[in-house]
Structure 1
Amino acid sequence: MPTAVVTGAGIRIGKAIALALAEAGYDLALHVHQSTEGADEVAGKARALGRSATVYRANLGTPEGVESLAKDVRRDHPALDVLVNNAGLYERRAFEDISREDFHRMLGVNLEAPFFLTQALLPVLRAAPQPLVVNLTDIAAERAESHYAHYTVSKAGLLMLTKALAVELAPRVRVNAISPGTVIFPENFDEAARQALLARIPFGREGSAEDVARVVVFLAREAPYISGQVIAVDGARSAQL
Protein backbone atom coordinates (compact mmCIF):
# COMPACT_ATOMS: atom_id res chain seq x y z
CA MET A 1 0.00 0.00 0.00
CA PRO A 2 1.45 3.44 -0.89
CA THR A 3 2.05 5.87 1.96
CA ALA A 4 1.57 9.64 2.22
CA VAL A 5 2.78 12.12 4.82
CA VAL A 6 0.63 15.23 5.26
CA THR A 7 1.82 18.01 7.57
CA GLY A 8 -0.79 20.14 9.29
CA ALA A 9 -3.29 17.34 8.71
CA GLY A 10 -5.71 18.15 11.53
CA ILE A 11 -7.53 21.15 10.08
CA ARG A 12 -8.70 22.86 6.93
CA ILE A 13 -6.80 22.06 3.72
CA GLY A 14 -4.46 19.54 5.31
CA LYS A 15 -7.36 17.56 6.69
CA ALA A 16 -9.10 17.47 3.30
CA ILE A 17 -5.89 16.40 1.54
CA ALA A 18 -5.32 13.56 4.00
CA LEU A 19 -8.88 12.28 3.60
CA ALA A 20 -8.66 12.46 -0.19
CA LEU A 21 -5.42 10.49 -0.19
CA ALA A 22 -6.93 7.85 2.09
CA GLU A 23 -9.87 7.53 -0.30
CA ALA A 24 -7.38 7.20 -3.18
CA GLY A 25 -5.71 4.23 -1.50
CA TYR A 26 -2.90 5.69 0.58
CA ASP A 27 -1.85 4.77 4.10
CA LEU A 28 -1.38 7.95 6.12
CA ALA A 29 1.30 9.49 8.32
CA LEU A 30 -0.48 12.52 9.77
CA HIS A 31 1.47 15.38 11.30
CA VAL A 32 -0.07 17.87 13.71
CA HIS A 33 1.23 20.46 16.12
CA GLN A 34 -1.85 21.12 18.23
CA SER A 35 -4.89 19.92 16.23
CA THR A 36 -4.76 16.33 17.46
CA GLU A 37 -8.55 15.96 17.60
CA GLY A 38 -8.89 16.65 13.87
CA ALA A 39 -6.03 14.32 13.02
CA ASP A 40 -7.55 11.55 15.13
CA GLU A 41 -10.80 12.03 13.20
CA VAL A 42 -8.96 11.70 9.89
CA ALA A 43 -7.13 8.62 11.15
CA GLY A 44 -10.40 6.99 12.17
CA LYS A 45 -11.97 7.61 8.77
CA ALA A 46 -8.87 6.29 7.01
CA ARG A 47 -8.91 3.10 9.07
CA ALA A 48 -12.59 2.63 8.24
CA LEU A 49 -11.49 2.58 4.59
CA GLY A 50 -8.97 -0.14 5.35
CA ARG A 51 -5.92 2.15 5.47
CA SER A 52 -3.36 2.42 8.21
CA ALA A 53 -3.00 5.84 9.82
CA THR A 54 -0.56 7.14 12.41
CA VAL A 55 -0.62 10.58 14.05
CA TYR A 56 2.69 12.30 14.83
CA ARG A 57 2.92 15.46 16.89
CA ALA A 58 5.78 17.90 16.31
CA ASN A 59 6.49 21.63 16.30
CA LEU A 60 7.83 22.27 12.80
CA GLY A 61 8.86 25.76 13.86
CA THR A 62 11.93 24.22 15.50
CA PRO A 63 14.78 22.16 14.01
CA GLU A 64 14.17 19.57 16.73
CA GLY A 65 10.54 19.21 15.72
CA VAL A 66 11.39 18.69 12.07
CA GLU A 67 14.03 16.09 12.87
CA SER A 68 11.75 14.31 15.33
CA LEU A 69 8.99 13.98 12.73
CA ALA A 70 11.42 12.81 10.06
CA LYS A 71 12.98 10.26 12.38
CA ASP A 72 9.59 8.82 13.35
CA VAL A 73 8.42 8.62 9.74
CA ARG A 74 11.65 6.96 8.58
CA ARG A 75 11.33 4.44 11.43
CA ASP A 76 7.76 3.48 10.55
CA HIS A 77 7.80 3.79 6.76
CA PRO A 78 10.75 2.39 4.76
CA ALA A 79 9.27 3.88 1.57
CA LEU A 80 7.30 7.10 1.21
CA ASP A 81 5.25 7.78 -1.92
CA VAL A 82 3.88 11.26 -1.22
CA LEU A 83 5.00 14.12 1.03
CA VAL A 84 2.62 17.06 1.32
CA ASN A 85 4.21 20.09 2.99
CA ASN A 86 0.99 21.80 4.02
CA ALA A 87 1.60 23.10 7.56
CA GLY A 88 2.01 26.86 7.63
CA LEU A 89 1.57 30.16 9.43
CA TYR A 90 -0.58 33.05 8.18
CA GLU A 91 -0.46 36.44 9.85
CA ARG A 92 -1.54 39.98 9.00
CA ARG A 93 0.87 42.61 10.29
CA ALA A 94 2.07 46.02 9.12
CA PHE A 95 5.61 45.98 7.74
CA GLU A 96 6.92 48.38 10.38
CA ASP A 97 5.56 46.13 13.15
CA ILE A 98 7.18 42.89 11.98
CA SER A 99 9.94 41.96 14.40
CA ARG A 100 12.89 39.70 13.69
CA GLU A 101 11.16 37.10 15.84
CA ASP A 102 7.98 37.37 13.73
CA PHE A 103 10.01 37.09 10.53
CA HIS A 104 12.04 34.07 11.61
CA ARG A 105 8.97 32.29 13.02
CA MET A 106 7.13 32.73 9.72
CA LEU A 107 10.03 31.55 7.56
CA GLY A 108 10.80 28.75 10.00
CA VAL A 109 7.42 27.07 9.53
CA ASN A 110 6.60 28.08 5.95
CA LEU A 111 10.00 27.63 4.29
CA GLU A 112 12.66 26.04 6.48
CA ALA A 113 10.44 23.19 7.66
CA PRO A 114 9.50 22.03 4.13
CA PHE A 115 13.14 22.40 3.07
CA PHE A 116 14.63 20.30 5.85
CA LEU A 117 11.76 17.84 6.19
CA THR A 118 12.01 17.00 2.49
CA GLN A 119 15.77 16.67 2.86
CA ALA A 120 15.45 14.37 5.88
CA LEU A 121 12.82 12.18 4.17
CA LEU A 122 14.66 11.95 0.86
CA PRO A 123 16.01 8.42 1.51
CA VAL A 124 12.51 6.98 2.04
CA LEU A 125 11.09 9.01 -0.84
CA ARG A 126 13.73 7.56 -3.16
CA ALA A 127 12.77 4.09 -1.95
CA ALA A 128 9.25 4.48 -3.43
CA PRO A 129 8.52 3.71 -7.10
CA GLN A 130 7.23 7.17 -8.15
CA PRO A 131 7.76 9.59 -5.25
CA LEU A 132 6.07 12.99 -5.17
CA VAL A 133 6.52 16.10 -3.03
CA VAL A 134 3.74 18.69 -3.00
CA ASN A 135 4.30 22.10 -1.40
CA LEU A 136 1.36 24.34 -0.49
CA THR A 137 2.21 27.87 -1.54
CA ASP A 138 -0.20 30.77 -2.16
CA ILE A 139 -1.07 33.01 -5.11
CA ALA A 140 0.29 35.81 -2.90
CA ALA A 141 3.75 34.32 -3.44
CA GLU A 142 3.76 36.04 -6.83
CA ARG A 143 1.56 39.07 -6.08
CA ALA A 144 2.23 41.64 -3.40
CA GLU A 145 -0.44 42.17 -0.78
CA SER A 146 -0.31 44.87 1.88
CA HIS A 147 0.33 43.84 5.51
CA TYR A 148 1.64 40.35 4.65
CA ALA A 149 5.29 41.00 3.79
CA HIS A 150 6.80 38.22 5.91
CA TYR A 151 4.11 35.73 4.86
CA THR A 152 4.41 36.41 1.14
CA VAL A 153 8.22 36.27 1.28
CA SER A 154 8.04 32.86 2.95
CA LYS A 155 5.67 31.52 0.30
CA ALA A 156 7.73 33.01 -2.53
CA GLY A 157 10.72 31.13 -1.15
CA LEU A 158 8.71 27.91 -1.06
CA LEU A 159 7.69 28.45 -4.67
CA MET A 160 11.32 28.71 -5.76
CA LEU A 161 12.27 25.75 -3.57
CA THR A 162 9.69 23.73 -5.51
CA LYS A 163 11.34 24.57 -8.82
CA ALA A 164 14.87 24.07 -7.50
CA LEU A 165 14.11 20.62 -6.11
CA ALA A 166 12.17 19.58 -9.20
CA VAL A 167 15.34 20.18 -11.20
CA GLU A 168 17.84 18.77 -8.72
CA LEU A 169 15.89 15.67 -7.71
CA ALA A 170 14.76 14.73 -11.23
CA PRO A 171 14.06 12.24 -12.58
CA ARG A 172 13.72 10.21 -9.41
CA VAL A 173 11.48 12.54 -7.35
CA ARG A 174 8.77 14.82 -8.70
CA VAL A 175 8.20 18.12 -6.90
CA ASN A 176 5.22 20.39 -7.51
CA ALA A 177 3.34 23.14 -5.70
CA ILE A 178 -0.32 23.98 -5.33
CA SER A 179 -1.10 27.66 -4.97
CA PRO A 180 -4.53 28.26 -3.43
CA GLY A 181 -6.33 31.54 -3.75
CA THR A 182 -9.25 32.36 -1.47
CA VAL A 183 -10.05 28.99 0.07
CA ILE A 184 -12.01 28.63 3.33
CA PHE A 185 -12.45 31.99 5.01
CA PRO A 186 -11.55 32.06 8.72
CA GLU A 187 -14.61 31.80 10.96
CA ASN A 188 -14.18 35.34 12.32
CA PHE A 189 -13.50 36.95 8.94
CA ASP A 190 -15.19 40.33 8.49
CA GLU A 191 -18.21 40.05 6.18
CA ALA A 192 -17.47 43.28 4.33
CA ALA A 193 -13.91 42.16 3.66
CA ARG A 194 -15.23 38.78 2.56
CA GLN A 195 -17.53 40.33 -0.02
CA ALA A 196 -14.76 42.59 -1.27
CA LEU A 197 -12.52 39.58 -1.84
CA LEU A 198 -15.24 37.59 -3.56
CA ALA A 199 -15.79 40.50 -5.95
CA ARG A 200 -12.19 40.04 -7.15
CA ILE A 201 -12.67 36.37 -8.03
CA PRO A 202 -14.03 35.68 -11.55
CA PHE A 203 -15.82 32.58 -10.25
CA GLY A 204 -17.59 34.79 -7.70
CA ARG A 205 -17.06 32.40 -4.79
CA GLU A 206 -14.40 31.02 -2.50
CA GLY A 207 -12.82 27.66 -3.14
CA SER A 208 -13.09 24.60 -0.92
CA ALA A 209 -10.44 22.50 0.74
CA GLU A 210 -11.61 19.63 -1.44
CA ASP A 211 -10.75 21.67 -4.56
CA VAL A 212 -7.12 21.66 -3.42
CA ALA A 213 -7.19 18.04 -2.28
CA ARG A 214 -8.34 16.82 -5.70
CA VAL A 215 -5.26 18.39 -7.30
CA VAL A 216 -2.97 16.57 -4.86
CA VAL A 217 -4.58 13.25 -5.79
CA PHE A 218 -4.33 14.10 -9.49
CA LEU A 219 -0.61 14.84 -9.17
CA ALA A 220 -0.07 11.64 -7.21
CA ARG A 221 -2.11 9.33 -9.44
CA GLU A 222 -2.43 10.80 -12.91
CA ALA A 223 0.53 13.06 -13.66
CA PRO A 224 3.85 11.17 -13.76
CA TYR A 225 5.45 13.69 -16.16
CA ILE A 226 4.44 16.85 -14.30
CA SER A 227 7.17 18.32 -12.11
CA GLY A 228 8.39 21.79 -11.22
CA GLN A 229 4.92 23.28 -11.69
CA VAL A 230 2.88 25.63 -9.53
CA ILE A 231 -0.84 25.00 -9.98
CA ALA A 232 -3.16 27.81 -8.94
CA VAL A 233 -6.49 26.78 -7.40
CA ASP A 234 -8.13 30.18 -7.26
CA GLY A 235 -11.19 30.49 -9.49
CA ALA A 236 -9.12 32.48 -12.05
CA ARG A 237 -8.30 35.22 -9.56
CA SER A 238 -4.59 35.24 -10.45
CA ALA A 239 -5.39 35.41 -14.19
CA GLN A 240 -6.59 39.00 -14.03
CA LEU A 241 -4.89 42.28 -13.19
Structure 2
Amino acid sequence: MNSSDRLAIVTGGTKGIGLAFSRRLTRMGFRVVATYRSDEESANLALREVEKGLSVVRSNVSDPDEVAGLAELVRTEHGVPRVLVNNAGLNIDRPVLEISDSDWRRVLDTNLSGPFYMTRAFAPAMLEAGGGSIVNIGATTAIRPRLNGANYCSSKAGLLHLTKCLAMELAPSIRVNCLIPGMIDTEEMRTRYRVAEPEYRDALLSEIPQRRIGATDEMADALEFLIGDGATYVTGQKLIVDGGQFMW
Protein backbone atom coordinates (compact mmCIF):
# COMPACT_ATOMS: atom_id res chain seq x y z
CA MET A 1 0.00 0.00 0.00
CA ASN A 2 1.31 3.46 -0.83
CA SER A 3 0.87 6.40 1.52
CA SER A 4 -2.37 7.56 -0.05
CA ASP A 5 -3.93 4.15 0.67
CA ARG A 6 -3.03 3.99 4.34
CA LEU A 7 -6.21 5.17 6.04
CA ALA A 8 -7.94 3.16 8.76
CA ILE A 9 -11.23 3.61 10.61
CA VAL A 10 -11.56 2.31 14.18
CA THR A 11 -14.95 2.58 15.86
CA GLY A 12 -14.68 3.00 19.61
CA GLY A 13 -11.03 3.75 18.96
CA THR A 14 -10.26 6.20 21.76
CA LYS A 15 -9.97 3.97 24.83
CA GLY A 16 -9.28 0.41 25.93
CA ILE A 17 -8.59 -2.12 23.21
CA GLY A 18 -9.79 0.34 20.58
CA LEU A 19 -7.12 2.85 21.58
CA ALA A 20 -4.48 0.12 21.35
CA PHE A 21 -5.69 -0.54 17.79
CA SER A 22 -5.54 3.16 16.89
CA ARG A 23 -2.08 3.51 18.42
CA ARG A 24 -0.73 0.47 16.57
CA LEU A 25 -2.17 1.51 13.24
CA THR A 26 -0.57 4.95 13.46
CA ARG A 27 2.76 3.29 14.26
CA MET A 28 2.30 1.18 11.14
CA GLY A 29 2.00 4.36 9.09
CA PHE A 30 -1.78 4.58 8.81
CA ARG A 31 -3.75 7.75 9.21
CA VAL A 32 -6.47 6.73 11.66
CA VAL A 33 -9.97 8.08 12.15
CA ALA A 34 -11.23 6.86 15.53
CA THR A 35 -14.86 7.27 16.50
CA TYR A 36 -16.33 7.69 19.95
CA ARG A 37 -19.94 7.92 21.06
CA SER A 38 -19.96 10.19 24.13
CA ASP A 39 -16.73 10.07 26.13
CA GLU A 40 -15.11 13.28 24.92
CA GLU A 41 -12.55 13.25 27.72
CA SER A 42 -11.14 9.90 26.55
CA ALA A 43 -11.12 11.17 22.96
CA ASN A 44 -9.05 14.20 23.95
CA LEU A 45 -6.68 12.03 26.00
CA ALA A 46 -6.22 9.75 22.99
CA LEU A 47 -5.33 12.72 20.80
CA ARG A 48 -2.74 13.91 23.30
CA GLU A 49 -1.25 10.42 23.66
CA VAL A 50 -1.02 9.45 20.01
CA GLU A 51 -0.12 12.98 18.82
CA LYS A 52 0.46 12.16 15.14
CA GLY A 53 -1.77 10.46 12.60
CA LEU A 54 -4.96 10.27 14.69
CA SER A 55 -8.24 12.11 14.13
CA VAL A 56 -11.30 11.58 16.33
CA VAL A 57 -14.93 11.96 15.32
CA ARG A 58 -18.02 11.71 17.48
CA SER A 59 -20.42 9.23 15.90
CA ASN A 60 -23.06 6.74 17.00
CA VAL A 61 -22.56 3.55 14.99
CA SER A 62 -26.04 2.31 15.93
CA ASP A 63 -27.64 5.13 13.92
CA PRO A 64 -27.53 4.46 10.16
CA ASP A 65 -27.95 8.14 9.32
CA GLU A 66 -24.99 9.09 11.51
CA VAL A 67 -22.92 6.34 9.92
CA ALA A 68 -23.80 7.63 6.44
CA GLY A 69 -22.74 11.11 7.54
CA LEU A 70 -19.51 9.72 8.95
CA ALA A 71 -18.73 7.95 5.67
CA GLU A 72 -19.25 11.17 3.72
CA LEU A 73 -17.08 13.16 6.14
CA VAL A 74 -14.29 10.58 5.94
CA ARG A 75 -14.48 10.45 2.16
CA THR A 76 -14.26 14.21 1.73
CA GLU A 77 -11.72 14.97 4.46
CA HIS A 78 -9.56 11.86 4.64
CA GLY A 79 -10.13 9.57 1.66
CA VAL A 80 -10.98 5.88 1.32
CA PRO A 81 -9.96 3.47 4.09
CA ARG A 82 -7.99 0.32 3.45
CA VAL A 83 -8.82 -0.95 6.94
CA LEU A 84 -12.08 -0.84 8.90
CA VAL A 85 -12.11 -2.06 12.50
CA ASN A 86 -15.61 -2.48 13.93
CA ASN A 87 -14.70 -2.30 17.60
CA ALA A 88 -17.44 -0.20 19.26
CA GLY A 89 -19.49 -2.26 21.70
CA LEU A 90 -22.04 -1.95 24.48
CA ASN A 91 -22.94 -4.07 27.53
CA ILE A 92 -26.22 -3.71 29.41
CA ASP A 93 -26.40 -6.79 31.63
CA ARG A 94 -29.71 -7.93 33.12
CA PRO A 95 -31.41 -11.26 33.86
CA VAL A 96 -33.25 -12.23 30.71
CA LEU A 97 -36.70 -11.57 32.21
CA GLU A 98 -35.59 -8.08 33.19
CA ILE A 99 -34.12 -6.98 29.87
CA SER A 100 -36.22 -4.10 28.60
CA ASP A 101 -37.00 -3.47 24.94
CA SER A 102 -34.54 -0.57 25.09
CA ASP A 103 -31.80 -2.75 26.67
CA TRP A 104 -32.23 -5.31 23.91
CA ARG A 105 -32.31 -2.82 21.04
CA ARG A 106 -29.40 -0.65 22.21
CA VAL A 107 -27.04 -3.61 22.56
CA LEU A 108 -28.06 -5.29 19.31
CA ASP A 109 -28.02 -1.99 17.44
CA THR A 110 -24.49 -1.17 18.62
CA ASN A 111 -22.82 -4.58 18.53
CA LEU A 112 -24.46 -6.14 15.47
CA SER A 113 -26.22 -3.48 13.42
CA GLY A 114 -23.31 -1.06 13.90
CA PRO A 115 -20.76 -3.24 12.06
CA PHE A 116 -23.36 -3.86 9.34
CA TYR A 117 -24.04 -0.14 8.91
CA MET A 118 -20.33 0.69 8.90
CA THR A 119 -19.51 -2.00 6.35
CA ARG A 120 -22.42 -1.02 4.10
CA ALA A 121 -21.30 2.61 4.23
CA PHE A 122 -17.57 2.10 3.60
CA ALA A 123 -17.26 -1.12 1.55
CA PRO A 124 -18.41 0.30 -1.83
CA ALA A 125 -15.61 2.88 -1.90
CA MET A 126 -13.14 0.29 -0.60
CA LEU A 127 -14.09 -2.08 -3.41
CA GLU A 128 -13.81 0.65 -6.02
CA ALA A 129 -10.36 1.58 -4.67
CA GLY A 130 -9.12 -2.01 -4.85
CA GLY A 131 -10.20 -3.58 -1.58
CA GLY A 132 -8.82 -3.86 1.92
CA SER A 133 -9.50 -5.54 5.24
CA ILE A 134 -12.39 -5.41 7.70
CA VAL A 135 -11.96 -6.74 11.22
CA ASN A 136 -14.97 -7.17 13.49
CA ILE A 137 -14.25 -7.35 17.22
CA GLY A 138 -16.20 -10.20 18.75
CA ALA A 139 -16.40 -11.79 22.19
CA THR A 140 -15.96 -15.25 23.64
CA THR A 141 -19.59 -15.05 24.77
CA ALA A 142 -20.52 -15.42 21.11
CA ILE A 143 -19.67 -19.10 21.55
CA ARG A 144 -20.11 -19.78 25.25
CA PRO A 145 -23.06 -17.94 26.84
CA ARG A 146 -23.05 -16.33 30.26
CA LEU A 147 -25.70 -15.35 32.77
CA ASN A 148 -27.40 -11.95 32.48
CA GLY A 149 -26.06 -11.31 28.99
CA ALA A 150 -28.66 -12.62 26.54
CA ASN A 151 -28.61 -9.37 24.55
CA TYR A 152 -24.80 -9.12 24.46
CA CYS A 153 -24.22 -12.83 23.73
CA SER A 154 -26.80 -12.79 20.95
CA SER A 155 -25.29 -9.70 19.36
CA LYS A 156 -21.80 -11.18 19.33
CA ALA A 157 -23.01 -14.56 18.06
CA GLY A 158 -24.72 -12.72 15.23
CA LEU A 159 -21.52 -10.81 14.52
CA LEU A 160 -19.66 -14.08 13.96
CA HIS A 161 -22.11 -15.08 11.25
CA LEU A 162 -22.25 -11.57 9.79
CA THR A 163 -18.46 -11.79 9.44
CA LYS A 164 -18.79 -14.95 7.36
CA CYS A 165 -21.53 -13.50 5.15
CA LEU A 166 -19.52 -10.34 4.54
CA ALA A 167 -16.40 -12.39 3.77
CA MET A 168 -18.30 -14.33 1.12
CA GLU A 169 -19.95 -11.33 -0.50
CA LEU A 170 -17.00 -8.92 -0.45
CA ALA A 171 -14.39 -11.44 -1.65
CA PRO A 172 -11.93 -11.44 -3.22
CA SER A 173 -11.06 -7.76 -2.82
CA ILE A 174 -12.01 -7.28 0.84
CA ARG A 175 -11.09 -9.76 3.53
CA VAL A 176 -13.36 -9.88 6.61
CA ASN A 177 -12.39 -11.56 9.87
CA CYS A 178 -13.49 -11.58 13.51
CA LEU A 179 -10.95 -10.92 16.25
CA ILE A 180 -12.07 -12.20 19.65
CA PRO A 181 -10.43 -11.03 22.90
CA GLY A 182 -10.28 -13.09 26.03
CA MET A 183 -9.44 -11.52 29.39
CA ILE A 184 -7.62 -8.37 28.34
CA ASP A 185 -6.40 -5.74 30.80
CA THR A 186 -8.86 -2.88 30.39
CA GLU A 187 -10.62 -0.74 32.96
CA GLU A 188 -13.94 -2.43 32.19
CA MET A 189 -12.48 -5.94 32.63
CA ARG A 190 -10.75 -5.02 35.90
CA THR A 191 -14.00 -3.64 37.29
CA ARG A 192 -16.28 -6.40 36.00
CA TYR A 193 -14.12 -9.25 37.27
CA ARG A 194 -12.82 -7.49 40.42
CA VAL A 195 -9.24 -8.41 39.58
CA ALA A 196 -7.82 -6.15 42.30
CA GLU A 197 -9.18 -8.62 44.87
CA PRO A 198 -6.82 -11.63 45.18
CA GLU A 199 -9.52 -14.29 45.48
CA TYR A 200 -11.30 -13.15 42.31
CA ARG A 201 -8.06 -12.70 40.39
CA ASP A 202 -6.80 -16.15 41.42
CA ALA A 203 -10.08 -17.77 40.36
CA LEU A 204 -9.90 -16.02 37.01
CA LEU A 205 -6.27 -16.95 36.36
CA SER A 206 -6.97 -20.59 37.24
CA GLU A 207 -9.15 -20.78 34.08
CA ILE A 208 -6.39 -19.46 31.79
CA PRO A 209 -3.62 -21.91 30.82
CA GLN A 210 -1.10 -19.07 30.45
CA ARG A 211 -2.00 -17.92 33.99
CA ARG A 212 -2.11 -14.26 33.14
CA ILE A 213 -4.37 -11.52 31.81
CA GLY A 214 -3.65 -10.35 28.28
CA ALA A 215 -2.40 -6.89 27.33
CA THR A 216 -4.17 -4.57 24.91
CA ASP A 217 -0.99 -4.53 22.81
CA GLU A 218 -1.39 -8.29 22.31
CA MET A 219 -4.76 -7.60 20.72
CA ALA A 220 -3.06 -5.03 18.53
CA ASP A 221 -0.51 -7.69 17.55
CA ALA A 222 -3.37 -9.90 16.35
CA LEU A 223 -4.96 -7.03 14.46
CA GLU A 224 -1.63 -6.28 12.77
CA PHE A 225 -1.48 -9.90 11.61
CA LEU A 226 -5.04 -9.95 10.27
CA ILE A 227 -4.65 -6.81 8.19
CA GLY A 228 -1.10 -7.59 7.05
CA ASP A 229 0.55 -9.41 4.20
CA GLY A 230 0.90 -12.56 6.29
CA ALA A 231 -2.87 -13.05 6.31
CA THR A 232 -3.74 -12.50 2.66
CA TYR A 233 -5.33 -15.97 2.49
CA VAL A 234 -7.32 -15.54 5.72
CA THR A 235 -10.95 -14.45 5.48
CA GLY A 236 -14.22 -15.36 7.16
CA GLN A 237 -12.32 -16.62 10.20
CA LYS A 238 -12.33 -16.03 13.95
CA LEU A 239 -9.07 -15.46 15.81
CA ILE A 240 -9.36 -15.91 19.58
CA VAL A 241 -6.66 -14.23 21.67
CA ASP A 242 -7.29 -15.52 25.19
CA GLY A 243 -4.25 -17.35 26.58
CA GLY A 244 -5.98 -20.68 25.92
CA GLN A 245 -9.02 -20.02 28.12
CA PHE A 246 -11.48 -21.06 25.43
CA MET A 247 -10.15 -23.62 22.95
CA TRP A 248 -12.81 -23.59 20.24
Q: Does 1:12 align with 2:12?
A: no
Could you report, residue by residue, the CA deviation over 1:144-182 in whole angstroms, capped at 9, with x for unpaired residues?
111111100000001100011001110011100101111
Aligned equivalents of 1:85 and 1:54: distance in 2? 16
2:242 to 234, 237, 241: 234
Counterpart in the other structure of 2:166: 165
Counterpart in the other structure of 1:97: 98
Could you report, residue by residue, the CA deviation over 1:57-116 in whole angstroms, capped at 9, with x for unpaired residues?
012232333222222222223321000000001232211111111111100000001101
SS of equivalent residue, structure 1 residue 29:
strand
2:39 to 35, 40, 57: 35
Structure 1, gaps ≥5 residues long: none
TM-score, scaled to structure 1: 0.91
Query: Amino acid of the residue matched to residue 200 of structure 1?
Result: E
Aligned equivalents of 2:91 and 2:200: distance in 1? 17
Counterpart in the other structure of 1:22: 26
The total of aligned residue pairs comes to 237
Deviation for aligned residue 1:37:
3.3
Percent identity between the two aligned chains: 37
Deviation for aligned residue 1:44:
4.4
Structure 2, gaps ≥5 residues long: none
Query: Amino acid of the residue matched to residue 87 of structure 1?
Result: A
Counterpart in the other structure of 2:191: 188
Aligned equivalents of 2:15 and 2:50: distance in 1? 15
SS of equivalent residue, structure 1 residue 59:
coil
Aligned equivalents of 1:141 and 1:155: distance in 2? 5
RMSD over aligned CA atoms reads 1.8
Q: Please say if residues 15 and 39 of structure 1, whose CA atoms lie closer than 8 Å, have aligned partners that are also in contact.
A: no
SS of equivalent residue, structure 1 residue 91:
coil
Question: Residue 150 and residue 193 in structure 1: after superposition, are their counterparts in 2 closer, same or farther (change >3 A)?
Answer: farther
Q: Please say if residues 201 and 235 of structure 1, whose CA atoms lie closer than 8 Å, have aligned partners that are also in contact.
A: yes
Deviation for aligned residue 1:47:
4.5
Counterpart in the other structure of 2:216: 209
Question: Residue 213 and residue 128 in structure 1: after superposition, are their counterparts in 2 closer, same or farther (change >3 A)?
Answer: farther
Q: Which moved more, 1:33-42 or 1:149-158?
A: 33-42
| Structure 2 counterparts to residues 130-169 of structure 1, below 5 A | 130-169=131-170
Aligned equivalents of 2:121 and 2:223: distance in 1? 21
Q: Please say if residues 74 and 121 of structure 1, whose CA atoms lie closer than 8 Å, have aligned partners that are also in contact.
A: no
SS of equivalent residue, structure 1 residue 236:
coil
Aligned equivalents of 1:81 and 1:206: distance in 2? 31
Aligned equivalents of 2:77 and 2:87: distance in 1? 21
Could you report, residue by residue, the CA deviation over 1:17-41 in whole angstroms, capped at 9, with x for unpaired residues?
0000000110111111123333334
Aligned equivalents of 1:127 and 1:173: distance in 2? 11
Aligned equivalents of 1:98 and 1:203: distance in 2? 35
Question: Residue 97 and residue 233 in structure 1: after superposition, are their counterparts in 2 closer, same or farther (change >3 A)?
Answer: same
Query: Amino acid of the residue matched to residue 61 of structure 1?
Result: S
Counterpart in the other structure of 1:54: 55
Q: Please say if residues 77 and 124 of structure 1, whose CA atoms lie closer than 8 Å, have aligned partners that are also in contact.
A: no
